Amino acid sequence: MSTLTFERFSYTYAGADTPSLREVSLHVDAGEFVVLAGLSASGKSTLLRAASGLVPHFHGGVAAGRVLVGGLDTREHGPGDLAAVAGTLLQDPETQVVMTTVRAELAFPLENRGLAPAAVARGVEEVALALGIAELLERSTHELSGGELQRVALGAALAGRPPLVLLDEPTSQLDPVAGDELVWLLRRLNEEWGTAVVLAEHRLERCLGHADRVVVLEDGAVACDAPPRAMLEWAAERAPALQTPSARLFVRAGLRPLPAGVKEARATLRSHGLARDPVAIAESIPPPAAAPRRRPWASRAGGVAAIRARGIWQEPAGTRAILRGVDLTLVPGERVALMGRNGAGKSTLLRHLSGLQRPTRGRVEAAGRVALLLQNPGDYLIHERVGDEATPAALDLVGLTELADRHPRDLSGGERQRLALAIVMDAGEPAVALLLDEPTRGMDRAAKGELADRLDVLAAGGTAVLVATHDAEFAAAVADRVILLADGHAIADAPAPEILSGGWHFATETARVLGGDGQALTPEQGGALLRSRMTIEVHP
Amino acid sequence: MIYRRRASALHVARAGIAAAYGMALVLLALCFTNPLALGAIAVAAGAAAVLAGVGSDLARAARFAVPLAILVALVNALVVREGLTVVVRVGEVPPFGQIDITLEAAVYGLLLGLRVLVIVLCAALLTATVDPDEVLRGMRRVSLRSALTASLATRMVPVLARDARRMEQARRCRPDVDLRTRSTQLAVVRAVTTGALERAVDVAATLELRGYAIARRPPRGGGAPFSRHDLSVGCAALGLLALGAWGLAAGVARVDPYPRLALGTGSREIVLAVLIVVVALVPFLSRRGVQRA
């Protein structure tokens, strides 16, 4: 039985020249877990908004074809009616919660349906227990973390126990741990309560293992609709940017079948005799170097440092210290990733290094101007035209010259990020260091690759690059050196392969598949390693 | 300032009744300019806030209100030309003409400033102790659209405050921006406004998805019976209103500032002040059931 049906549905936003969805035909059966994939602006969000009734009832525009949600035609039923059959969760947790307490938030959709207080109370209790947020019920929504807010918003979407849940990149604003927890929660909903799930997600490696089907959108049309392994085969041929790191690893190594997750990948390696003994691998990997308590005042390379920070403390009044005597030296052209869990002090350290904040103790010295790119690139945009935001030379540096006449708010997420980069780098005095705070949030893999290339160019020109990130794949792509922060301390400071190949959390997918074998971090390195093993086996 | 549920009689009482209590204090402050009465209301609001666990919220509100109160006092002293006791002759100040500061205008200005401060304190107590979600539920029975607007506004305040902090930091990271130029300031205001509108659209979309537009009226009746705290807080609110009515009707705590200052500071004013404090704090005598909140 179909829970969601698109029949030759096309849609153009009001004022837009080109359609965002073109002749989309799609069926989602009851209890199915469907992942929506595609690059930015491929139509994923619009498709989900059409399924929730926001398109066209909230956004206007021109629609053709038909969408049926739980048997209700979206031409006749708006988002309020459809909420009973389809819960919807959008990207930003902060605008997904409208009441001041968690209990009121969960009760809100039930009250809107006119349910009696007893039925509302029962509904709240049921959904809070099902999603594991019962302990949050009396908390104020203002106090919740992003991950907690998103779970509460999911609870509000599911409060009426709809048979279908639609999710538009719900993990894009969350740290990896909170993102993984949310995806596991969706799997539980799907398996235990039979809720059909349609999930749009950039980080496919996070959810392919749970999916029954993957639907790929390209330019608003369905380009592929297949089970995960078949979709990965398709992506290997047609859309390399949609491949997961494990799939890219296997393609590089010439192995088949392509794996939907780490577990499948390991099983395939074992069946090919390519998996090494974990104990032997662990013994061969040197332990990560601890950060010295006091780093020498001179830089590692012995040359002139771009930034030197010595003994930085940040001790807000009345609360625990955020930074506890951090020492850090960056040399020109060095590329460093700063990693650590939420609240470890990464963002605060970047603010101190850029001069945006002053430490309560310690000292920061820079050899020149330090550019800081904060998390939300939209915050930098104040003009009506891209060309007014930065000089032509700066736009050229980030490849946005052709978009100079566009409105900054019409740019995609990746393009906004590049424009913000142009803005912070655009000054008479070149920056000796560029600091970036979580620059890949919400970015697709192609945009991440472009950003990594830009950073390579800047580093080659002598700019020191420091990236605070949760994204181990990105850290492996851009950094020579990784610093791990925990509770305001630098607990490890070592070359990237040492840090990112030996752990569980701070490790790339390739490293997790290979168990740290050969300290391979990227699919390219891992593929080369596996091919060399296979060659040795065939020609001993 | 954000509402957080705490273990106090005011937080346990239903929102409509707690709001009536806060409103009664505000009305009382609007009724009187007598320093004894205003002092009593300030003491009552402060003590109620401490007993309700929101004393720090009131202290924060006071820090914002004191400059405003001082401004009111200064303006009254400088602008009002009534009163017979001239204490300072400023002289001719174009375009205002001759300015003389009188004792009456200066003292009455101080009293008006005190009243502003007390009103802000009472409003802060109301904000910190009344559950806005419950108020919205109540409002929905009366007007869906008003409740929608209030709901959007309630949610948007903290969201926009966070956005503003982030945007301000981003501006400081722009090497090219000179915030002193008018064109840049205008561009920033425009960007902030656009951002706020985008946020409002996102929140409005969420409200649509939660079924706000089709909101059906909840069935009436069947609610929980009035608790002891509902009764005590409600009675205190009525008592405060009755004291205000008595004071106005009997001319207690009158202030006649001009031409010569006449302040009521007799036994009737002292009784009124004591009664205001006692009546306002009666609901906090019993904590039975409060801990379960």
Q: Which of A90, A140, A384 sits opposite B2 (nearest CB)?
A: A140
Quick check: A415 and A39 in contact, CB under 8 A? Answer: no
Give the lowest-confidence range in A198-207, B104-113, B132-141: B132-141
Same domain, A252 and A223: no
Point out the domain boundary residue: A180, A212, A239. Answer: A239
Of A71 and B144, the structure prediction assigns the larger pLDDT to A71
Same domain, A426 and A389: yes
Distance from CA of B143 to the nearest CA of A (A): 14
Cβ-defined contact of A376 to B170 (cutoff 8 Å): yes
Predicted confidence at residue B223, as pLDDT, reads 62
Cβ-defined contact of B210 to A116 (cutoff 8 Å): no
Q: How far apart are CA A467 and CA A508, in angstroms?
A: 16
Distance from CA of B242 to the nearest CA of A (A): 33
Contacts of B137 (CB under 8 A, 6+ apart): A111, B218
Predicted confidence at residue B179, as pLDDT, reads 61
Cβ-defined contact of A371 to B173 (cutoff 8 Å): yes
Predicted confidence at residue B176, as pLDDT, reads 67
Looking at the predicted structure, is the pLDDT value of residue B164 above 80?
A: no
Q: What percent of chain B lies above the pLDDT cut of 70?
A: 87
Span B235-249, mean pLDDT? Answer: 95
The two tokens of residue A134 are 């019962």
Same domain, A28 and A122: yes
The residue of chain B with its CA nearest to that of A354 is B173
Same domain, B111 and B166: no
Which of B129, B139, B173 is most worth mutating to test chain A (most A CB atoms within 10 A of its CB)? B173
Cβ-defined contact of A98 to B166 (cutoff 8 Å): no
Predicted confidence at residue B222, as pLDDT, reads 54
Position A457 in a domain = yes
Position B215 in a domain = no
Same domain, B41 and B168: no
Contact residues on chain A for B223, CB-CB shorter than 8 A: 117
Position A522 in a domain = yes
Q: Which residues of A67-86 are buried (b: 16+ CB within 10 A; e: fewer)?
A: bbbbebebeebbbbbbbbbb
The two tokens of residue A94 are 């902060």
Looking at the structure of chain B, the number of domains it has is: 2
Position B214 in a domain = no
Same domain, A108 and A211: yes
Closest listed residue to residue A472, CA positions, set A436, A510, A518, A418: A510
Quick check: A534 and A253 in contact, CB under 8 A? Answer: yes
Judge if the upstream peptide bond of residue A56 is cis by omega within 30 degrees of 0: yes
User: CB pairs below 8 Å between A and B: how many?
Assistant: 157
H-run or E-run covering B276: helix B267-281
Residue B141, chain A, CB below 8 Å: the answer is: no
Closest listed residue to residue B171, CA positions, set B189, B158, B159: B189
Q: Map A88-133 to HEC letters.
A: EECCCHHHCCCCCEHHHHHHHHHHHCCCCHHHHHHHHHHHHHHHCC
Of B118 and A393, the structure prediction assigns the larger pLDDT to B118
Same domain, B193 and B272: no
Provide the CA B190 distance to its chain's centre, in angstroms.
30
Span B168-180, mean pLDDT? Answer: 75
Contacts of B75 (CB under 8 A, 6+ apart): B109
Please write the tens of the pLDDT for every residue from A371-389.
Answer: 999 988 888 888 889 998 8
Closest listed residue to residue B279, CA positions, set B2, B21, B18: B21
Average pLDDT, chain B: 85
Contacts of B48 (CB under 8 A, 6+ apart): B10, B125, B280, B281, B284
Position B160 in a domain = yes
Position A301 in a domain = no
Query: Hunting for tokens 């006071």 — which residue is that?
Result: B62
DSSP at B288: T
Residue B4, chain A, CB below 8 Å: the answer is: yes
How would DSSP label each residue in A128-193? HHHHT-GGGTTSBGGG--HHHHHHHHHHHHHTT--SEEEEESTTTTS-HHHHHHHHHHHHHHHHHH
Q: Both ends of chain A: CA-CA distance in Å?
A: 56
Looking at the structure of chain A, the number of domains it has is: 3
Predicted confidence at residue B208, as pLDDT, reads 86
Identify the bridge partners of residue A33 per DSSP, sorted by sequence position: A197
Closest listed residue to residue B215, CA positions, set B223, B204, B207: B207
Residue ranges, chain A, pLDDT below 50: 293-301
Looking at the predicted structure, is the pLDDT value of residue B144 above 70?
A: no
In terms of DSSP bridges, do strands A221-226 and A33-37 run parallel, antiparallel, or are they unpaired?
unpaired
Domain containing residue A86: CATH number: 3.40.50.300
Same domain, B131 and B147: no
Same domain, A479 and A340: yes
Cβ-defined contact of A80 to B208 (cutoff 8 Å): yes
Same domain, B147 and B172: yes
Same domain, A132 and A13: yes
Q: Which phi and psi angles does B236 have, rounded to 5°?
A: -65, -40
Please write the tens of the pLDDT for every residue from A278-305.
Answer: 777 766 666 655 555 444 434 444 568 9
Same domain, B180 and B240: no
Of A198 and B223, the structure prediction assigns the larger pLDDT to A198
Cβ-defined contact of A371 to B175 (cutoff 8 Å): yes
The two tokens of residue A446 are 């192609």
Contact residues on chain B for A374, CB-CB shorter than 8 A: 166, 169-170, 173
Same domain, A82 and A26: yes
Same domain, A425 and A468: yes
Distance from CA of B284 to the nearest CA of A (A): 22
Q: How far apart are CA A37 and CA A103, in angstroms?
A: 34
- CB under 8 Å, gap of 24 or more: what pairs does A223-229 form? A223/A38, A225/A26, A228/A35, A228/A260, A229/A257, A229/A258, A229/A259, A229/A260
DSSP at A317: T
Same domain, A133 and A267: no
Same domain, A256 and A152: no
Looking at the predicted structure, is the pLDDT value of residue B218 above 70?
A: no
Same domain, B65 and B43: yes
Contact residues on chain B for A143, CB-CB shorter than 8 A: 4
Same domain, A434 and A529: no
Q: Is B116 helix (H, G, I), strand (E, B) or coil?
A: helix
Position B279 in a domain = yes
Same domain, B166 and B104: no
Predicted confidence at residue B246, as pLDDT, reads 94
Span B66-91, mean pLDDT? Answer: 89
B176 is in which domain, residue-wise? Answer: 143-209
Predicted confidence at residue A230, as pLDDT, reads 95
Q: How far apart are CA B103 and CA A297, in angstroms?
A: 66
H-run or E-run covering B105: helix B103-129
Same domain, A502 and A513: no
Q: How far apart are CA A362 and CA A153, in angstroms?
A: 41
Predicted confidence at residue A484, as pLDDT, reads 93
Q: How far apart are CA A107 and CA B137, in angstroms?
A: 11
Q: How far apart are CA B45 and CA B126, in angstroms?
A: 10
pLDDT band at B239, cuts 50/70/90? Answer: very high
Of B175 and B29, the structure prediction assigns the larger pLDDT to B29
Cβ-defined contact of B170 to A379 (cutoff 8 Å): yes
Looking at the predicted structure, is the pLDDT value of residue B155 above 70?
A: no
Same domain, B279 and B240: yes
Position A456 in a domain = yes
A363 is in which domain, residue-wise? Answer: 307-506
Distance from CA of B23 to the nearest CA of A (A): 21
Same domain, B65 and B201: no
Predicted confidence at residue A85, as pLDDT, reads 92
* C-beta atoms surrounding B54 within 10 Å: 25
Position A70 in a domain = yes
Same domain, B38 and B119: yes
Same domain, B19 and B126: yes
